[in-house]
Amino acid sequence: MGDLEDAVMSRVWKWNRPVTVREVLEDIQRDRSIAYTTVMTVLDNLHQKGWVRREAEGRAYRYEAVSTRAAYAAALMNDAWSQSDNPAAALVAFFGMMSEEQRQALSDAIRIVQGPQTRENPGSAEETGGR
């Protein structure tokens, strides 16, 4: 995503509801000068890329995010990691850049993905026949 696409999507994600070009325009204009047609073009491009869906409302459209910012970030990380010729080294380097708070979030995420496990019975209930 380019800078302007990110500025538009940030608002769509933040508001978490269908938005109009006018709403996005007025909010962006608080920070910089931008034309209505520019915001309309950006939202149209985001629609074509599959990041937003749109629904006609009179002569205009309302745009809504197709996925979350977290899903977008995950896709970026996956894309970058999959392009590495040494994925393990890329992960080690990435982990080395993380703050303690980020490493804790990663640890929490791994626990969520792995699901409930106990020390006495590390396998899932499904693997052990429900015991």
pLDDT tens, position by position, 10-66 = 999 999 999 999 999 999 999 999 999 999 999 999 999 999 999 999 998 999 999
With 60 as the cut, is the pLDDT of residue 131 above it?
A: no
The reported pLDDT for the residue numbered 100 is 93
SS (H, E, C) 53-85: EEEEECCEEEEEECCCHHHHHHHHHHHHHHCCC
Given a cut of 50, is residue 93 above it in pLDDT? yes
Counting residues of the chain whose pLDDT is more than 70, the rounded percentage is 89
The predicted model gives 55-83 an average pLDDT of 89
Provide the pLDDT for residue 46.
95
Q: Does domain 3-65 correspond to CATH entry 3.90.1720.10?
A: no
* Pair 21, 60: CB distance under 8 Å: yes
pTM as predicted: 0.66
